[in-house]
Amino acid sequence: MAAFSSRSGINRLTILLVLFVAGWLLFQTFQRPLHDPGAVPRPIDARGDLAADELNTIEIFRNAAPSVVYITSIAVRRNIFSLNVYEIPRGTGSGFVWDKQGRIVTNYHVIADASRLEVTLADRTTWKAVLVGVAPDRDLAVLQIAAPAGRLHPLAIGESSNLQVGQKVFAIGNPFGLDQTLTTGVVSALGREINAVTGRTIHDVIQTDAAINPGNSGGPLLDSAGRLIGVNTAIYSPSGGSAGIGFAVPVGEVNRVVPRIISQGRLIRPGLGVTLANRRLTDELGLQGTLVLNVLPGTSAEKAGLRGTTQMRDHLVLGDVIQAVNGRRVSDHTSLRDELERYEVGDTVRLTLVREGATIEVAVQLEAMN
């Protein structure tokens, strides 16, 4: 009983001591003056030199920022009561200078359905843009402005075939209308596939964790040497904001498609000159590959001897079934079309066919298809 009383006394003494100290500190706080007429700025601590990677990032932004543009798409509307025509901003996006002739590269979805386009350069001058051409299946478009060459700063072109997961990348664009914004990250995956606005698959897409937000679309993705390695085109995000997964069309595809758009106004596809069965029919027939339905007269396919499918009175005579292009397997008409687009019009490819149960190879020269 005595021991218990002793412990209770010690606890009470401890509580009283704590309360005394707290009260004393509170008293001292209120005794200090709230204002000091002699207050001066604190001395600045020297930070030392910037780290090498910081200097590299700064240099990349300084060199690349003058090449990045702000694109405004404007739509024309008619008042349903007065019938007056008026213009409204439809959306904004990014792009970059391709050459000294004033050509600007951006995403197709940035400028799709626009009635008028404006391009604002890094020097804040705004120029009316005209459409050179588009490749909707690759989500790419080329614009032209009449800015003098001295205002135009094309980006250096890099490589996408030798990219490695983990290497640093830099995205510059105009997210949410905030121009000249830099985000950094790494290549987080390679060989991804995304769908263009047309539903076609874009292959070998670069995945990055550099923040890509609405408005970044069409802007450049750069490597640590400041070279273009991709065109930022999409994000994966349930909320619409950056969630750490962005996608860019690889520069190898961009550098292949953009010159074609500039020379032809559109991306002319290489083809065979045949019509093909859809996936459902080939699956119903249990075929591996894509079935040739018709061979168009006067085409490369007819010259190479490809055979189409014919309907006899009581049965169907199957035509050639294309299974591979230069040894690369194709499973349906979509994968065949994607495979052929790796080549140029005029190239000769070797088709692996199944004809009347036998596997054969036929050489066909690719021709321009609408």
**Cα radius of gyration rounded to whole Å, the chain:** 32
Instruction: Report the C-alpha gap between 33 and 30 in whole angstroms.
Output: 8
Identify the active-site residue in 73, 94, 137, 139: 139
Which one from 67, 94, 109, 300 is the annotated catalytic residue?
109
Distance CA 92, CA 216 (A): 9
Among 217, 242, 332, 333, the one annotated catalytic: 217
How far is residue 319's CA from residue 114's CA, in Å, rounded to a whole number? 44
Reported as type and span, the H/E element at residue 18 is helix 2-31
Rounded to an integer, what distance in angstroms lies between the CA atom of residue 290 and that of residue 99?
A: 41
Report yes or no: 367 and 273 within 8 Å, Cβ to Cβ: yes
Q: How far apart are CA 37 and CA 356, in angstroms?
A: 100
Token digits of residue 362: 């036929």
In 3D, which of 68, 231, 234, 228 has the Cα closest to residue 140?
231
- CA–CA gap between residue 170 and residue 155 (Å, rounded): 13
The dihedral sign for the CA sequence 209, 213, 217, 220: negative
- Is 139 considered catalytic here? yes
> What are the backbone dihedrals phi and psi of residue 217, each rounded to the nearest 5 degrees, phi first?
-55, 130
In this structure, are residues 102 and 145 in contact, taking their beta carbons and an 8 Å threshold? yes
Can you point out the beta strands (E) in 136-227? Answer: 140-144, 168-173, 181-195, 201-208, 220-222
CA distance 143 to 117: 9
Would you give the DSSP letter of residue 170? Answer: E
For residues 117 and 103, give the distance between their C-alpha atoms in angstroms, rounded to a whole number: 13
Clarify whether 73 is annotated catalytic.
Answer: no
- Is 217 designated active site? yes
- Which residues are identified as catalytic? 109, 139, 217
